[in-house]
Amino acid sequence: MAGSQTQLIEGLNALSAGLILLTAFGMVATRQVQGVMRFFIVQSLFLAASAFLIGFNRGSIHLLALGAITIAAKVIAIPWVLKRTLPGDLYERREINQVINIPSSLLLALLLAIAAEFLVSPLLATTADPVIHANLPIGLAGILIGGYSLIARREALPQLIGILAMENGAFFAGIAIAPDLPLIAELVIAIDVVLIAVVVGVLTRNITQTIGTSEAASMSELREEPRP
Amino acid sequence: MTLIAAIFFPLLSALLCWFKPLRSIVWGITVFCLTISFAMAVMTAGQVLRNGNAVAIPGWIEVDGLGSLVLLLVTFICTLAAIFAGGYMRHGSQSRERLWWFYSNSNLLVFALAVVPALASPNLAWVGVELVTLFATLLVAYESTAGALEAAWKMAILTIMGAPIALLGFLVLYWAYHSSGGGTAETWAALSAMSSTMSPNLLKFSFLLVFVGFGAKVGLAPMHTWLPDAHSQAPTPVCAVLSGIKTTVPLYVILRFLSIILASPEARIGNWMVVIGLFSVGIAAFLLLQVHDYKRMFAFSTVEHMGIILVAAGFATHEADYGAVAQMLNHSITKSLCFYTAGMVLMTLGTRQISEVRGLFRTSPFVGGALLLCSLAIAGAPPFPIFLSEFSILSAGLRSGHNVAVAILATLIVVAFVAIMRHVNGMLFGKPEATAPVERVPLSCRTAVLLAAVPVVVLGVYIPGPVHSLLELAAQQLGGH
């Protein structure tokens, strides 16, 4: 009986891993800032779900706490903080400029996901734990795809969400490979993520007020050339 | 106890700066608290010299030789930067009302910098490094000009992007530690004791992630592009801290990790470090030839020196490690002096362009003399300390058989030397432009420059016994043979 329950939980965890990858693709495919933000919130929910599942399976209080921290920080605090600090027009139906168009981006994201699987395969050989087999490759894929959307997007807020999505990837792998990390470390890391959002949010606001645009591409004053 | 005091006095100072009644004396509070913090760091170093380490809370807050050296450098450089800030921040068109905010934020940066070498757990060190990045970003953006905001944004994106990558690296390290039977809390000391039994695949993978993630923060090429922008746009005292010590702190974490990996017999990556380090030195040396802004010149020289330290650590012998930690010390003290001097030039003439500064010796002998001293020292001319440490790195490289690497490194160092001296030569001599209005440099800035020049001059000709022993201890932690 216990065995089938474990299997069910592992299956559900694999499902949330797949959904996390799907939301990462969703972030790459969306053109609206608000849409990217929604995908990020959904992704954080799946991350919390995975933490609850593994925590329940292993009877680990740490992971249950981490799931709660994730919901508090990434589903509630960060979207709220960004809504408060940033002017509303950054959110409203804003079309994001991209260096590479969306179909090619999706293809690249797919390649990154495959690359992640290859990169971690020597590590997976050291363990038979199915949870690690599900979470580590998807976590790394989340980091790589988040990093890609950070580079490809030219708008401040989607860049910030790209960073946060990368953190989600790192956490998703982390709950599988380091489930008994000291709680204080988890707590401090979660606070740190919120701080990142606050600082970058404030910076974005200052940039919009001073320069008048949040397009990172339009900032190109500093370079190795003599000033006129 | 002294260790805890050294870390928490900057935090106390940051809190005091928030109180409204104290806002007129924020500079005094900052200098006072940071001086105490420096004194405590010196006492901690003394304790480390006697006992081999200093433990405040076992498993959480403790320093060994290397940690103590970095802590000492952090508090020393930040104290002088605080003294310098007194005159500098009152100068020019800065808004006075936000001054308390500047000092409070700077103190938080000092706290974050000081806490990294004192933390025994790698995961918490990651948090410390992230806090450093965040406070530094806010300080770079302090002046709120278009240039400053652009620099802050570049720095935030490129360096914060490294955070999740490095985080995954540390989590994999934790996995490697626990799956090989590490039962006790994960500390640097426990990790180096266990290094030979951990899975080399996991170790290599985690090191790669941490190296990529923190390498961007150190400013290693090709992830250095944010560094000259940030280090030239920030207020000068902040530049001194950023270039002098903020790049050294993530490098300290990388070196710590490198020592664990070098002790694992199957994971041979020393030569890769040499290659990556040489690449940074090369990029910096050739960019130094064509800079137009003297603050950017000193920033590129930081990229060069970070590369040199990495090359030395990659040689992985005890001698080279001694060179690496000595280079760390010498670079920090010299580079902060460089930025104070650059700040004085900016205050005197009001321009950052090298081509607009002429005949500085005639305009202001004090500023000119300081510029000559610091640029000779940073370029690595004898009898300055950087010459000694670079020389010992090169000779250690030859002795360990890295002849090609030493030849390339020596060539690039010479290129960088010529580049810096050519720019500085033009700034110092010739006829000053008559139209330029000349302003006097405030007393606090002169004091900071004189204090910063003392170790730069002294350590070149005489290394006191305790300093030598501390460097020896720190080099041992790097684990070369």
Question: Which residues on chain A are in Cβ contact (under 8 Å) with B205?
Answer: 119-120, 122-123
Cα B326 from Cα B66, distance rounded (Å)? 11
B60 at A interface, C-beta within 8 A? no
Residue B304, pLDDT score? 95
* Residue A223 resides in a domain: no
Give strand pairing partners of A155: A215
Surface of B (347-366) touching A: CB under 8 A = 353, 355
Instruction: Tell me which residue in B134, B147, B287 faces A199 most closely, judged by beta carbons.
Output: B134
Rounded CA gap, B330 and B102, in Å?
Answer: 28
Indicate the residue of A126, A150, A156 with minimum beta-carbon distance to B199: A126
pLDDT digits over B453-470, tens only? Answer: 999 999 999 999 999 999
Q: For residue A79, say if its preceding peptide bond is cis, omega within 30 degrees of 0.
A: no
Q: How far is B292 from chain A (nearest CA, A)?
A: 6
pLDDT in tens, B160-173: 889 999 999 999 99
Please report, for residues A90, B271, B301, the alpha-carbon distance to residue B305 in angstroms, rounded to integers and kept in the order given: 41, 18, 6
Cα B38 from Cα B36, distance rounded (Å): 5
- What is this model's ipTM? 0.92
Q: Residue B337: which pLDDT band, with cuts at 50, 70 and 90? A: very high
In this prediction, residues B394-414 reach a mean pLDDT of: 95
With a cut of 80, say whether residue B272 has pLDDT above it: yes
State the residue for tokens 């205050």: B347
Q: Are the C-beta atoms of residues B46 and B68 closer than 8 Å to each other? A: no
Give the residue from B144, B149, B303 with the most A CB atoms within 10 Å of its CB, the best one to mutate.
B149
Interchain contact, A181 vs B171, CB within 8 Å: yes
Rounded average pLDDT over B18-44: 92
How near does any CA of chain B get to the CA of A192, in Å?
A: 7
What's the pLDDT score for residue A43?
96
pLDDT of residue B434: 62
Instruction: Compute the distance between CA of residue B164 and CA of residue A193 in angstroms, rounded to an integer.
Output: 10
Distance of CA B141 to the CA centre of its chain: 20
Domain residues for the domain of B228 are: 2-477
User: A interface mutation test: which of B132, B157, B233, B354 has the most A CBs within 10 A?
Assistant: B157
User: Is B178 part of the contact surface with chain A (CB cutoff 8 Å)?
Assistant: yes
Judged against a pLDDT cut of 70, whether residue B93 lies above it is answered with no
A219 part of a folded domain? no
**Beta-carbon separation of A206 and B141 below 8 A:** yes
Give the dihedral sign, CA B186/B189/B193/B195. positive
pLDDT in tens, B428-441: 988 877 666 667 88
Question: Given B153, B164, B179, which is nearest A207 (Cβ)?
Answer: B153
With CA atoms as reference, the chain A residue closest to B146 would be A211
Q: Which residue carries 């010149």 as its tokens?
A: B297
Of A119, A163, A169, Cβ closest to residue B161? A163
Give the model's pLDDT for residue B308: 96
What confidence score (pLDDT) does residue A221 get?
Answer: 66
CB contact under 8 A, B127 and A185: yes
The per-residue pLDDT for B38 is 96
CB contact under 8 A, B153 and A122: no
Residue A224 in any domain: the answer is: no
Is the entire prediction scored with pTM above 0.90?
yes
Residue B110 token pair = 């000092």
Cβ neighbours of B228 in A, within 8 Å: 222, 224
End-to-end CA distance of chain A: 77
Nearest chain B Cα distance for residue A143, angstroms: 7
Contact call for B353 and A192, based on CB within 8 A: no
Q: How is residue A184 written in tokens?
A: 């204080």
Distance from C-alpha of A49 to C-alpha of A17, rounded to nearest angstrom: 10
**What share of chain B in percent tops pLDDT 90?**
64
Least CB–CB distance from B147: residue in A146, A182, A222: A222
Domains held by chain A: number: 1
Q: Shortest Cα distance from A29 to chain B (angstroms)? A: 20
Domain residues for A104? Answer: 2-214
Q: Has residue A225 been placed in a domain?
A: no
Average pLDDT of B248-257? 94
B54-57 vs B61-63, strand pairing mode: antiparallel
Number of domains in chain B: 1
Inform me whether the C-beta atom of residue B119 falls under 8 Å from chain A C-beta atoms: no
The mean pLDDT value for B165-187 works out to: 87
Q: Which residue of B142, B171, B225, B300 to mutate against A (max A Cβ within 10 Å)? A: B171
Mutate which: B116, B140, B161, vs A, most A CBs within 10 A? B161
Per-residue pLDDT of chain A (228 residues; tens, 9 = 90+): 467 888 899 899 999 999 999 999 999 998 888 889 999 999 999 999 999 999 998 888 888 988 998 999 899 988 988 888 877 777 765 667 777 888 899 999 999 999 999 999 988 988 888 889 999 999 999 999 999 988 888 788 888 899 999 999 999 999 999 887 877 777 788 888 888 888 888 888 888 887 776 666 666 666 665 544
Report the pLDDT value the prediction gives residue A136, as an integer from 0 to 100: 94
- How far apart CA B406 and CA B393 sit, in angstroms, is 9
